[in-house]
A = this chain, B = another copy of it.
Amino acid sequence: MIENRKDDHIRIASEQNVEEGNNLFNEVYLIHIALPEIDFDDVDTSMTIFGKKLSFPFIIGAMTGGTEIAEKINAILAKCAEEFGIGMYVGSQRVAIVKPETARSFRVVAENAPTALKIANLGAPQVSRLNERVLSDWVSQAIDMINADAIAIHLNPAQEVFQPEGEPWFRGVTDRLRFIKKIANRPLIIKEVGNGISMEVARTLVSRVGPDAIDVAGTGGTSFIRIESIRARAINEANIFSGWGIPTVLSICEVRNVYDGFIIASGGVRSGLDGAKAIAIGANAFSMSRPLLLSALKGYDETKKFIDNLFREFKATMFLTGSKNISELSRAPVVL
């Protein structure tokens, strides 16, 4: 059952070592400025996306929904998003459309984060099999369910191919993405789930879809190849494809090369320093999933503390690079 799979993902992602590959953040060096010419309190970390102002350019990653435990996690994350004035994705909402009795687990997000930036979520393989009428309806349902400010479609071919009950269907996906862009009435985000977006794919998206943002979700953080291989008891396969995909740092650079829209950095981002590096090399915001799953399972206080540290690391990096605001950070000198 689809709900079992959701709980499997939470359990495996939280109990096992499922991070792998090299995101290359360690190869990115920001230049220390010994003479910042500002006070720490002069640093302005805020920014605006899709008309909403964030206190700093951070978006809680897409994770879950559809089960009891998912509901608890979503409620905690949403509360924090509201409190900090940051953004939040939900996990794939197919489960709630197919089984409406599970929709509550998503609705808690709108309830707990009434003003925060909220992003709906559906998967490419499903989208590829629906006709335009049904697809239109799913998109509306997903958006309405959480009163979303934007909708994300995730591309996850590696997950589908290694998932025991996977649906590796990508024929016709590009046309469906363009259709969604046309009818959604909300900004469209295209995201991966941990194997990265290459320059080739970004080029296709630019010329045939026209997304409002791309979330690279590159290699070097949570690996769905490993998660699904653990579920399938196919560890050997996981080892062979360990590190498959495009390191997050490379993916940011490749996408930036051909796309001048909004780029969200994710996949192994693990600190405010990583987030600041991502922005310095071309991203506009950053996102993080698994570490927030771990905090949320510990509760609301832990999660608040986690995000607070993230914020302080990010602001410290801005200060130490002499960046008064996000636009200065994006021009900070960087060594690769």
Listed in ascending order, the chain A residues whose CB lies under 8 Å from chain B are 31-40, 42, 124, 155-158, 160-162, 168-174, 192, 195-198, 200-201, 204-205, 219, 236-237, 240-241, 244-246, 271-273, 309, 312-313, 316, 319-320, 333
- Kindly provide the distance from the CB of A331 to the nearest chain B CB, expressed in whole angstroms: 12
Assembled-state Cα–Cα distance A171/B322 (Å): 11
Q: Are B309 and A35 in contact (CB under 8 A)?
A: no
Q: Find chain B residues with CB under 8 A from A168 CB.
A: 39-40, 319
Specify which of B173, B271, B312, B319 is in contact with A157 (CB 8 Å cutoff). B319
Assembled-state Cα–Cα distance A169/B36 (Å): 9
Q: Are B170 and A39 in contact (CB under 8 A)?
A: yes
Specify which of B33, B244, B245, B312 is in contact with A198 (CB 8 Å cutoff). B33
Q: Are A31 and B161 in contact (CB under 8 A)?
A: no
Assembled-state Cα–Cα distance A33/B190 (Å): 14
Nearest residue (CB) in B for A313 is B240
Nearest residue (CB) in B for A273 is B240
Given A309-B236, A320-B158, A320-B244; A171-B38 close (CB under 8 Å):
yes
Copies of this chain:
4
- Kindly provide the distance from the CB of A80 to the nearest chain B CB, expressed in whole angstroms: 19
Assembled-state Cα–Cα distance A320/B158 (Å): 7
Specify which of B162, B313, B319 is in contact with A316 (CB 8 Å cutoff). B162
Q: Are A201 and B161 in contact (CB under 8 A)?
A: no
Q: Are A31 and B237 in contact (CB under 8 A)?
A: no
Nearest residue (CB) in B for A217 is B34
Given A39-B168, A170-B39; A200-B333 close (CB under 8 Å):
yes
Q: Are A201 and B33 in contact (CB under 8 A)?
A: yes
Q: Are A34 and B197 in contact (CB under 8 A)?
A: yes
Q: Find chain B residues with CB under 8 A from A156 CB.
A: 34
Q: Are A200 and B31 in contact (CB under 8 A)?
A: yes
Q: Are A37 and B313 in contact (CB under 8 A)?
A: no
Q: Find chain B residues with CB under 8 A from A197 CB.
A: 34
Q: Find chain B residues with CB under 8 A from A162 CB.
A: 316
Q: Find chain B residues with CB under 8 A from A31 CB.
A: 198, 200, 246
Nearest residue (CB) in B for A40 is B168
18 contacts between A and B (CB under 8 A): A31-B246, A32-B158, A32-B198, A34-B156, A34-B157, A34-B197, A35-B174, A37-B170, A37-B171, A37-B173, A39-B171, A40-B168, A42-B171, A161-B316, A162-B316, A236-B309, A240-B272, A241-B313
Nearest residue (CB) in B for A170 is B36
Nearest residue (CB) in B for A218 is B32
